[in-house]
Amino acid sequence: MEIQETLLLKLGEVVLKGLNRRAFEDRLLSNVSRRLRRCGSFQTHIRQSTIYVEPLSPDCDMNAAFAAAQQVFGVVRVARAMPCERVPEAIAQAAAKYLGGEFAKARTFKVETKRADKQYPMNSIQVSQAVGGLLAEAFPEVRAEMRNPDLTVYVEIREKAAYVHTPSVRGAGGLPVGTGGRALSLLSGGLDSPVASWMIARRGVELEAIHFVSPPYTSPQAQEKVMQLAKLLTASCGRLKVHVAPFTRIQEEIRKNCPEAYFTLIMRRFMMRIAEATAKKSGAAALVTGESLGQVASQTMKALAVTESVVSVPVLRPLIGMDKVDIIHTAQRIGTYETSILPYEDCCTVFTPRHPATRPELRDVEAAEAALDVETLCAEALAGAEWQWVKP
C-alpha cells in the first residue's frame, strides 16, 4: 500500500506525570482511538511524547480525523505529516511531493529539523542544510530565507521514519478525560454552564449533566437547546449522560410560600440537593456549576455559601474568577456561543425576584425555606427525572 499521510499528536501536561504517566498515556490513546473511529480505520500508538495516527485504508477521512484530534483533551499540537525514509534525498522528495502546492504559492522557504532520535548520525542543522539544498534545486524559483520565510518545511527525525509537515495547529490541551474522576454538571441553556463543563472536562474529569425544566414556563425548544449544547460538548468531553429533572412544582411552591428576595437562592438550593442525589447515584464525586463571583445577585460570596450549604460533595466552579468577556471568548472558541445565545429561556430565569438578596444570612434563608416540604419536593423531582445519552 502506498505510504499515506499521518497525524502527529503532541502530548502536553501528560509528560509531567512521572510514575503515573503510563496510565495517563493509556487513557489518552484510548480516547483518541475512540474519537477517530467514525473517521475510518486507524492504527494509533505512542512514542517519544507523540501519538502517531496512521490510516489503515485509503478511504479514511483525514480532514475529519485532523479536526477531531484537535478537540481531544491531553493533546497540545496536531500536525498532518508525510512519513518517509530517514535520508535527506527521501525527505526532500517527500517534501516536494507533499508540499508542492505550498511551494507553488511561496517565494521564500526554510527547513527546520527536530532530531527526536539522538542516535541519528546527522544533527538537526546538517539535516536542514541537506534537505534545503535539494529543495532549492527542485524549486529554483523559491529562494531560501532563514528569518521570515513564506513557507517553513518541518522535518522530524524519529526512530522508524522521518516526517515532513507544515506548522502544527493548537490542540485542546489539558488532561485526558477519565483521569480526573467523575462529576455532574448543572447544565442550563446559557453561556456559562457549557463553558464550565468544557473547562472542568479539560482537567480530565468525566462528566454527566443535569438540566432542570419547568413546563409550561419553559418550552420544548429550551430543552432542545440544552441538548444541542450537550452535543456540542461531546466533541471534547466524549458522550454525555444528561439527566432532565422536572422543576415546575418546586418553583411554584417557592413563589407561593417564600419571600420574593430569596426566590433564586432557594431555587438554587433545591437544584443543588437534587443534583447531589443524582451525582451520588451515578458515582460522581463533585458538582460543577457555571457561577462567576459577583456576576449576578445569587453569585456573591455570601449567596454562594448559602447555596452550597445544602450539599456535602465539592462544588467545582471553574469560571469563578472569569468576567463575561472571558466567558464569551471561550464559548466562541469551543463552539457553544451561537447556540447559547438563542432566545429560549430556561428555568433559572423563571420567577426572577425584582430585588434579590445579595448578602443573605443562612439562618434567614433556612427560616424562609421552612415553609416548604423540602424532602417531598426533592423526592418528586428525582422520581420524575429522565435521562438520555448524547453522543458525538
Residues 154 and 208 in one domain: no
Q: Are 74 and 11 spatial neighbours (Cβ–Cβ below 8 Å)?
A: yes
Q: Are 196 and 219 spatial neighbours (Cβ–Cβ below 8 Å)?
A: no
For residue 162, the enclosing domain spans 6-170
> Cα dihedral sign for 166, 94, 149, 157?
positive
Whether 46 is in a domain gets the answer yes
Whether 1 is in a domain gets the answer no
Per-residue model confidence (pLDDT) at position 344: 75
Residues 207 and 307 in one domain: yes
Residue 308 belongs to domain with CATH number: 3.40.50.620
Per-residue model confidence (pLDDT) at position 1: 44
State yes or no: pLDDT of 327 exceeds 60: yes
| pLDDT tens-digit series, residues 237-292 | 999 999 999 999 999 999 999 999 999 999 999 999 999 999 999 999 999 999 99
Beta strand residue intervals within 239-326, DSSP E: 240-246, 287-288, 315-316
Residues 161 and 195 in one domain: no
Other beta carbons within 10 Å of 309: 13
From the list 228, 208, 232, the residue with the least C-alpha distance to 220 is 228
Per-residue model confidence (pLDDT) at position 348: 67
Residues 11 and 125 in one domain: yes
Residues 119 and 208 in one domain: no
Residue 105 belongs to domain with CATH number: 3.30.2130.30
Domain count, the chain: 2
State yes or no: pLDDT of 3 exceeds 70: no
Q: How far apart are CA 141 and CA 259, in angstroms?
A: 79
pLDDT above 90 covers what percent of the chain? 90
| pLDDT tens-digit series, residues 149-193 | 999 999 999 988 999 998 999 999 999 999 999 999 999 989 999
The whole model's pTM is what? 0.90
